[in-house]
Amino acid sequence: MRIKLLGPAALAAALGGALLLNTSVLPTTTARAETNRAAETAAPSTSDADPAARRAAATPVGANGQLAVCGTKLCNSQGNPIQLRGMSTHGTQWYPHCLTSGSLNALAQDWKADVLRVSTYVQEGGYETNPQHFTNLANSLIQQATDRGMYVIVDWHMLTPGDPHSNLSKARQFFTDIANRNKDKNNILYEIANEPSGVSWSRIKSYAEQIIPTIRGIDTNAPVLVGTRAWSSFGVSEGANESEVVNNPVRASNIMYTFHFYADSHRDEYLATLSRAADKLPVFVTEFGTQNYAGEGNNDFAMSQRYLDLMASKKISWTNWNFSDDHRTGAVFKTGTCNNPGSWTGMAPLKPAGVWIRERIMSPDAFPVG
């Protein structure tokens, strides 16, 4: 599948999240402007509550509460299937300066995103170089997303080596630390292996069945997202398909399986696999792009829309790659935006892919009522 994007080394540890760690934010997300945002009616009545309570009820987390897997769907606290839509960060070792109070306000309030995926790379100048630093960065982003009423995917962004067992001890430590800090929140999802590759499904399953108990021993409620074979393609990129997961699922409850696609590279075979898999398994598309598998090149918006239509029809949640100003076409912001931010809102700071995905995130959620 996709060769993971490499960011400029100059932005590595030196930036270190100095801007990110400024956690000053507006009060919990302001009331959403569009009255057709169904979340505003999904929450219990707050007509007699104070303004802060009304604002909280209007956010995705306020409307839906603690999530759980029910059958093949992701469901809210009332047991109703929902679809979350949002963005994935790029690696926090490269682009912490794109994750500021202003940009996250824009994501929550202008884009009206439901979810932020926080991508902590393991290698490539990431977690293994300074575990405490990158754990702190993840916790800061988790809190900032929480303050804005968004859900958070904690992404253990293993890529190379492709065997998740290679980083098993590091993963245990990371998820222990993150879960201990955030176990009382109701907006967390744990993604335990970004893109396994070059290993069998049974090997990935073995890893999952060791990491999930680590998380469950601390946080008993949060859904866990399990990466699939061949760069989270259900094995398609290595000649397999979803049947190996269907026939040999992870022995754990409240879990989902991840699928990644890049529309200009991954065509009908991948789309069909996603459709079949979602009829039999709970699936979360934690990463996709409108470009080729490297997140660059031309945007194929027509193929991307076919995927989005399928995901809407089956309530498959998704996060788009990526919320940065990387030079590749898959980054939503124009190159240089994060170093010289003016306004983060609207279309002016966005590349074509950013304009396209913002419009689709902004469309009403239609969260179920009651």
Catalytic residue numbers, as ranges = 195, 287
Q: Which helix (H) or strand (E) covers residue 25, if one does?
A: none
Confirm if 98 and 333 have CB atoms less than 8 A apart: yes
Number of neighbouring beta carbons within 10 Å of residue 11: 22
Q: Which of 291, 319, 369 is nearest to 107 (CA)?
A: 319
Q: Which helix (H) or strand (E) covers residue 146, if one does?
A: helix 131-147
Q: Do strands 255-262 and 224-226 pair parallel, antiparallel, or not at all (unpaired)?
A: parallel
Confirm if 336 and 325 have CB atoms less than 8 A apart: yes
As given in the structure block, the two tokens for residue 347 are 């279309």
- CA 19: distance to chain centroid? 21
Contacts of 277 (CB under 8 A, 6+ apart): 234, 242, 245, 246, 257, 259, 283
Count Cβ neighbours within 10 Å for each residue of 267-301 and write b for 16 or more, e otherwise: eeebbebbbebbeebbbbbbbbbbbbbbbbbebbb
Confirm if 120 and 83 have CB atoms less than 8 A apart: no
According to DSSP, the residues that pair with 225 across neighbouring strands are: 191, 256
According to DSSP, the residues that pair with 152 across neighbouring strands are: 116, 188
Cα–Cα distance, 68 to 253 (Å, whole number): 10
According to DSSP, the residues that pair with 119 across neighbouring strands are: 155
Q: Which amino acid is at 116?
A: L
The answer, yes or no, to whether the previous bond of 60 is cis (omega within 30 of 0) is no
Please give the DSSP secondary-structure letter assigned to residue 260. E
Q: Which of 87, 105, 114 is nearest to 24 (CA)?
A: 105
